[in-house]
Chains A and B, each alone.
Chain A
Amino acid sequence: MKQVINETTIKFWSRSANEGFARVTVAAFIAQLDPTVEEVSDVKTAISEAVTNAIIHGYECRPGIVTIKLKLFQDGVEISVSDKGAGIEDVDLARKPLYTSKPDLERSGMGFTVMESFMDKMRVSSKPRKGTTVRMFKNFKSIHRRFH
C-alpha cells in the first residue's frame, strides 16, 4: 500500500463559475509535491473536464453539490470527482471519443478522452439516478527524476 501524505476534500455548488475555482484549488494543493508546470496544467485540464461533466451532465445545470477528493502520495495525486446527479446509463458509450449526449450545447464529446490522455489512470463508476464518480491518478514523473 502506498502511503498517503496529505488529503483534502472540496465541496461546492454545481455552478459553472466553480470550474475555475476547482482548477486553481486543486493546482494549489498539488503544488506541495512540486510538480512541473506541464504536470499541473494536465491535472487542471482533467479537473475542468470532470467538474464540467458533473455540472452539465450529472446535475443537468440544476443545483447540486460537486465533491472533489484529493490524496497526495510521494509520486503523484489521486483525484475523485463525484456528483449525486443523473448518472450514466452506458459508461462505455459515454467514454467514446466524440460521443456526446448534448450536441445542442456545442459539446465536443471529448471530455473523457481528454481526462484519459492527460492523466495516467481513469475509472468511471456510475449509477443512473444515483450519480457518478470519476477517479483519476496522475504520476508526477518529475519527482522520480529528482530522487533517482
Chain B
Amino acid sequence: MQVKFYKNDKCLIAKMIGELDHHSASKVREKIDFEIVSSSCKTLILDFSEVAFMDSSGIGVVVGRYKNVTKMNGNIFVSNVSEKIRRIFEMCGVFKLVPELEKSDENILLAGGTI
C-alpha cells in the first residue's frame, strides 16, 4: 500500500492507496507517524478514497493515530469512507473518537482555512 501526503501549515492529509490489512498496516503506520512528527500540522486527515479493501486492521491504524495525534494536542479526521469501510468502523464506534470530515470541510482545510 502506498501513502501520499498533501500538506499546508495547518493540516496533513494522508491518502492511502491500495489494500489496508495486517500486512500493509505496519508500513502505513510508520509512514504516517513519521510525517506527523516531521510536519508541524495540528490536524491529520486520513483519506480513504483510494482504499480498495480494509479489514479490522484498519481500526487499529486509525485508533493508533488518534492516540498519537491527541498526545500532541492535535485533531484527527477520516474522509471519503466507503460504505464497506464505514460498516467496519461503525462496529466498534471509531467515529466517536475520529469524526468523519465532510468533503467541503476538507477543501476548506486544504485551502488553509479553519473549520
- What range describes how many residues of B lie at the interface? 20 to 34
Of B23, B60, B92, which one neighbours A97 at CB under 8 angstroms? B92
Does B22 lie at the interface of the complex (its beta carbon under 8 Å from any beta carbon of A)?
yes
Cα distance A107–B21 in the bound complex, in angstroms: 11
Does A41 lie at the interface of the complex (its beta carbon under 8 Å from any beta carbon of B)?
yes
**Whole-angstrom distance from the CB of A96 to the nearest CB of chain B?**
12
Cα distance A129–B5 in the bound complex, in angstroms: 44
Q: Is the CB of A97 within 8 A of B22?
A: no
Does B3 lie at the interface of the complex (its beta carbon under 8 Å from any beta carbon of A)?
no
Q: Mark A90-114, 1 if CB is under 8 A from B, else 0.
A: 0000000110000001111011011
Q: Give the contact stretch, choosing among B8-16, B40-48, B51-59, B69-77.
A: B51-59
| Given pairs A107-B56, A110-B92, A117-B87, 17 additional interface contacts (CB within 8 A) | A16-B21, A19-B21, A20-B19, A20-B23, A45-B84, A49-B55, A52-B22, A52-B55, A55-B22, A56-B22, A98-B92, A106-B60, A106-B63, A107-B57, A108-B60, A111-B56, A114-B56
Q: Which residues of A contact B (CB under 8 A)?
A: 16-17, 19-20, 23, 41, 44-45, 48-49, 52, 55-56, 97-98, 105-108, 110-111, 113-114, 117
Q: Which residues of B contact A (CB under 8 A)?
A: 19, 21-23, 25, 29, 53, 55-57, 59-61, 63-64, 84, 87-88, 91-92
